[in-house]
Amino acid sequence: LILVAEGLHEKKIANIADKIYENKEKIKIVLIAGPSSSGKTTFSKRLAVQLRVLGLKPKAISLDDYFVDREFTPLDEKGNYDFERLESLDIDLFNKHLTALLAGREVELPVFNFITGKRE
C-alpha cells in the first residue's frame, strides 16, 4: 500500500513537471510553500528530478539559506528562536536575488550553516 501511494505521488509530481514543461516559455519560477517540516525540500528535489527528465535544468533555492545570523533571529515569548517569523529571514537579499534571477542574471546564493547559526 505504501509503495502504491509513493508511486501515485511520483506520478502526480511527474504530471506537474509535464505542465511546467508545456509552459516553459511562460514559467520562469515555481514557488513551493508550506509550514516547517512539511516536505517542501523533498518535494522540490523530486520535482527537479522530473524536470531534468524532460531536459530542463532547475535550480532549487531554499529560504532556509536566507536566515539572518542567529544573533539577529527574533525570539518567541518563551525566549526561544522563532524561525517562523518573517524577521528571521533576510527578505531584502532574497528579493534582490529573485529579481536578478528573473532578469536572467546570475547570483551567488547564500548557504546558511545551522550549526554555527551564520551564513557562509
DSSP symbol at 64:
G
Q: What is the pTM of this model?
A: 0.79
pLDDT at 12 over 90: yes
Contact 64, 31 (CB under 8 A): no
Share of the chain above pLDDT 70, in %: 100
pLDDT tens-digit readout, 41-68:
999 999 999 999 999 999 889 999 999 9
Q: How many helices (H) and strands (E) does the chain have?
A: 3, 2
First to last CA, the chain: 43
Q: Between vectors from CA 34 to CA 89 and to CA 27, what angle results, nearest 5°?
A: 90
